[in-house]
Amino acid sequence: MKIFIVFAMVGLFVLVSAISALSKEPIDPFLWLENIDDPKALEWVEAQNAMTVAELQKHPDYSSLNQKILKVLNSRERIAYPTLVGDTVYNFWQDADHPRGIWRRTPLADYFNPNPKWETVLDIDQLSRQEEENWAFKGAVFLWPSYDLCLVNLSRGGSDAVEIREFDPVKKAFIEQGFFVPQAKGGAAWIDRNTLLISTDFGPGTTTASGYPRIAKIWQRGTPLSEARTLYEGQESDMGVWGSVLDTPERSYVLVTRMMTFYTGQSFVLEGDELIELDIPDDARFSGFFKNQMLVELKSDWIVGGTTYEQGALISIDYDRFRMGERDFSVVFAPAERSTLDGTAVTRDALLVLKLTRVVNELFRCTLQDGRWVEEKVDAPDLCTIGLAETDPFADHYFFSSTTFLCPTSLYYAAGDGTAPKKTKSLPPFFDAEGLMVEQFEVASTDGVSIPYFVVRSQYAEMNGANPTLLYGYGGFEIPMQPVYSPVTGTAWLERGGVYVVANIRGGGEFGPRWHQSALKENRQRAFDDFLAVAEDLIRRQITSPRHLGIKGGSNGGLLVGVAFTQRPDLFNAVLCSVPLLDMQRYNKLLAGASWMGEYGDPDVPEEWAFIRKYSPYHNLVADTRYPRVFFTTTTRDDRVHPGHARKMAAKMEAQGHPFFYFENTEGGHGSGVTNEQRAQMLALEYIYLIQTLGADGLKKERESRTDK
């Protein structure tokens, strides 16, 4: 037996060596850290956490900053954002008394009062204690039009995977023997009172390589989940398959979406017993229905019926006419130079269209008049970021938010009767913005493309290269980075005299699909070059210098800053790398990673690994280079971006002798924690790191002195 084991081990070593030789990459010595709950891995995490906390909490300002951030997060003066359910407003709320949160409601009429009388519907802290689980609330889906039943989504530790339970919001209790779906990535929607459309993990072989469901089924009440009828089945190589039900005043649409990749998919509508595929381009985004108008957002030019519809346009056609073969679409929105569609929503009588021009929003109310789209600009604040906070497809009213870097966020209510929107809620000023200013600059990237960025700073700051500066970026998945009022950034950084910068680099959604697509796959380096160009421009303008320049990014932004510090370690002195992707050779094998190959490419294809390998931070970290002392943060329960990325990068830095900080929260999913206490601790650690590393100690007093003068 011993001889057999020896030969088996030798054989395994030969096999591993052969695989390593074929891939031309050394065997990963830190692969064991990908075992999320392995005792050895958790022991390593605990040791790293202890060292980081011990050092950063020694800073004299740590305790006071932690308490200030916690006070902001627990403030009762925050906006309670509404979810409209008929004439009732629902809201999920966390504060010092409810660290895991309460799901509550109030009549719409009472919501407009300064202090609404909230009624608790579900107490997540109480539920967690009763069931001895670390539950996080992930929303609810109501049965329309009665609203007397709902499906509550609960997550253990804040992960993306949810457990679905049927709930009676009238009795405020879970329904015994009601619909119940075990924890999985997926979801469920009401077809009728006794029927669900469900996508989940139905057992072995029913999920995709990305860990998402690949089958949509119809489930009847009173039958076991195993007997649910299959409506659609995708491929294991797909990103995922999801079902949804869109209720409108005209009719309810039962929908199935198959996503082959993050950016290509098929949409289906159930007509009787037949699932009808919508004949639109795979890369187009089906955006729902309004008055039976089928809405389609184009990600590339589409030639149909002899007409070319432009990339980035929002087009529509009557759904019944579309089914009859007609293809004469109407253009709801046409893109322009540096102007793009930023979102849509519907009320009973209007389609709301949010436009983004030079990273500033405008909101329009669009109506169908004699078959023609007519738009009217909504009287919203100028030069700000607008968010469609909540709409009601069965009534002509809605809420939207308005925010800037320095003006506290406000919530507006629009009744749809022609009267001007009314400000209903507003944040108080959580930090002193006196003497602060916002500038917008542009810089040419390496290929000459102009990259805009925002600078928030004190008007008294001297352009001497000595200003502690935090540069933030993302640059991926067509997500724009826009001005937003951040009480934590203001309190912890701007009040101290720090400079805050947001870069609008390619890969994001600031200027539409073309801006995003220009940095995909083999062109990914463009996003990194844009970010580095902004950093260099900050130094060139003497706003800051490498000694005082820090960078921050999370998720895809974690990859961004990981690349930035490995390619140009000379430019930065601090790096906040949160829930990051870093090992780009294995990212597609970890959790949801396979779903992002449309963004980055497939590292298992040699010609694609060739361009990914050039920037993969984990593979470009070397021993004989001086790097800034990076601070990695992640969460154990992140089931979207695997914590192994941050773990392995930190372990490799440790092996090569590079100093770093590391902190891993045991809860929080793809974020920083479930409770405000957890979030405050991580944020305080991050800002103390920036303050002491970039030289921001004492700047607050200097700013206060100048303001007094």
pLDDT digits (tens, 9 = 90+) for 480-494: 999 999 999 999 999
What pLDDT does residue 13 have?
Answer: 36
What stretch of H or E contains 708? helix 699-708
Q: Which CATH class is domain 430-708?
A: alpha beta
In the prediction, which pLDDT does 6 show? 30
pLDDT tens-digit series, residues 552-596:
999 999 999 999 999 999 999 999 999 999 999 999 999 999 999
- What residues are annotated to the active site? 555, 670
Cα 499 to Cα 541: distance, rounded to the nearest angstrom: 13
How far apart are the C-alpha atoms of 53 and 59, rounded to whole Å?
Answer: 10
User: Per-domain residue ranges for the chain?
Assistant: 191-277, 279-335, 336-427, 430-708
Q: Rounded distance, CA 565 to CA 582, Å?
A: 12
Please report the pLDDT score of residue 673 as a whole number: 80
CB count within 10 Å of CB 80 equals 17
Give the chain's radius of gyration (CA, Å): 26
Tell me the pTM: 0.93
pLDDT for 318: 97
What single DSSP character describes residue 548?
G
All residue ranges of the chain with pLDDT < 50 are: 1-22, 707-709
Q: DSSP string of 72-132? A: HHH-TTS----EEETTEEEEEEEETTEEEEEEEEEEHHHHTSSS---EEEEEHHHHHHHHT
pLDDT of residue 97: 96
Give the span between the Cα atoms of 277 and 258, in whole angstroms: 10
Query: How high is the pLDDT of residue 3?
Result: 36
Let me know: does 574 contact 694? Beta carbons within 8 Å.
yes
